[in-house]
Amino acid sequence: MKIELVEGLTHKASVAVSDENTAIAMKSGSLPVFATPSMVALMEQAASELLEECLEEGETSVGTLVEVKHLAATPLGRTVTATAKVELVSGRKVEFTIIAHDGVNEIGTGRHERVMIDIEKFMNKVGR
């Protein structure tokens, strides 16, 4: 069932910190801690999954802006949860605030924009 897209709507996505999503694995640093690119991907996942619940068949969304601060390191074994909150719906564009938490600390904050698109039209433009 499709959910109405309204300001204030939230969605969470979580991931366990493992060897695969550390700064070492992502080549974004040399320490075995949750990588910034992994945090950004989790934040986008939360927003994308939220919109998937609201879209019609044949639609999806694409990210157009990511602005984040990575505030604290997270060691292996912890679970990181990103919470995306719809702040503004403007036509096809949706703006989110996103917070990432590792169960102990708020590890990241940011804003993210996504645009809702027709998959077929988009892929035709890309030249598939």
Q: What are the catalytic residues?
A: 36, 44, 70
Beta bridge partners of 38: none
Three-class secondary structure of residue 126 per DSSP: helix
63, 48 in Cβ contact below 8 A?
yes
Three-class secondary structure of residue 115 per DSSP: strand
Secondary structure string (H, E, C) spanning 82-97? EEEEEEEEECCEEEEE
What is the C-alpha separation between 85 and 58, in angstroms, rounded? 24
DSSP state of 21: G
